[in-house]
Amino acid sequence: METVVSGIRPTGNLHLGNYFGMVKNSVEMQRNFHCYFFVADYHSLTTHPHPADLHNTVRHVVSEYLACGIDPEKSVLYIQSDIPETTELYTFLNMLAYVGELERSTSFKEKVRSQPDNVNAGLLTYPVLMAADILIHKAIKVPVGKDQTQHLEFTRNFAQRFNNLYGVDYFPLPQAFNFSTELVKVPGLDGAGKMGKSEGEGNAIFLTDKPEVIRKKVMRAVTDSGPTEPNQQKPEPIQNLFTLMNLVSAPETVQHFDEAYNNCTIRYGDMKKQLAEDMITFTHPIREKVITYYHDTEFLHKVLSMGEEKARASAAKTVKEVREIIGIRKF
Ligand code: TRP
């Protein structure tokens, strides 16, 4: 069976963008692949979270993974920092990563712009740590959103460089994976761009948002003054609402509003009301489960111990073989 790895940084609660961008995909992959899913707590340290917050967010993300349907009996669910072997592989891969290429990474350049006071080396080598996460299990498929394709290109480059340098065919070259042909880009509610928690209050719908919060956010979504001629092309804010509706509503509902748009009778207020209710129907059962798991420390402990044990066995095997290839050998 092919191996899959994916991670989520514990930086906050998951929103619909995370869900449709990758978590849903991960859940579907459990049936056909050998899956490793983890919480990327090392990665989140680049922004220096408060220790209590970090611990809490990790708990939250694990609860969300479980609530969305990651089955700890089928998949290996673990915390990145429980697998210290990852940092050893990270050290090895750092010797193969060029500072120049890391500096050219779009997400690094983005961080330099957005947090100029904290351009730490961990930020620069973020793609190397991510490559270590993936290569430690020799995964070939990685269910991630569109924004991660460049990171996967880095992973393939490091893997290929390792293979070339040591004249081995050891690491496979992993690919981004999605069941649908296109990687999904989930838009936000502010009229432009993708859903993200850093794009401003109200732009993202979180899986654990209360119904009244969802209603409020959706009703405030950016629209325009409405179509003026039949079958007009939809401007971005409107198209975004339709894209979101496509994700959570029944096809007939989408069709209804699409027709209303095309014959210029649409009332955005009605569409938003419907969208909010369908989002609530969708997120509500997940929200309930998140709350249950979050408070069940005993269960979380059991699941994560099991994950740690399985993930470490796989990681230890890789690091042992990599050491041997590199020439780190016992006397
Ligand atoms: N960089 C990913 C993100 O921000 C998180 C991540 C870390 C990851 N390591 C990974 C994803 C390995 C997939 C595989 O979303």
User: Which pLDDT tens digit goes with each residue over 8-41?
Assistant: 999 889 999 999 888 998 999 999 999 999 999 9
Active site residue 310: no
How many Å is the Cα radius of gyration of the chain? 22
Q: How many CA atoms lie within 13 A of 208 on its CB side?
A: 16
Residue 22 in tokens: 């990758």
Closest C-alpha residue for ligand 1 atom 13? 6
Whole-structure pTM value? 0.91
CA-139 nearest atom, ligand 1 = 14
**From the candidates 74, 146, 185, 197, which is the catalytic residue?**
197
- CB of 17 within 8 A of CB of 196? yes
Active site residue 289: no
At residue 143's C-alpha, the angle toward residues 19 and 319, to 5°, is: 130
Give the separation between CA 41 and CA 193, rounded to whole angstroms: 26
CA-22 nearest atom, ligand 1 = 15
pLDDT in tens, the chain (331 residues): 899 999 999 988 999 999 988 899 899 999 999 999 999 999 999 999 999 999 999 999 999 999 999 999 999 999 999 999 999 999 999 999 999 999 999 999 999 999 999 999 999 999 999 999 999 999 999 988 778 999 999 999 999 999 999 999 999 999 998 776 566 679 999 988 889 877 777 899 999 999 999 999 999 999 999 999 999 999 999 999 999 999 999 999 999 999 999 999 999 999 999 999 999 999 999 999 999 999 999 999 999 999 999 999 999 999 999 999 999 999 9
All structural domains of the chain, each given as residue ranges with its CATH number in brackets, are 3-176+297-326 (3.40.50.620), 197-290 (1.10.240.10)
Active site residue 234: no
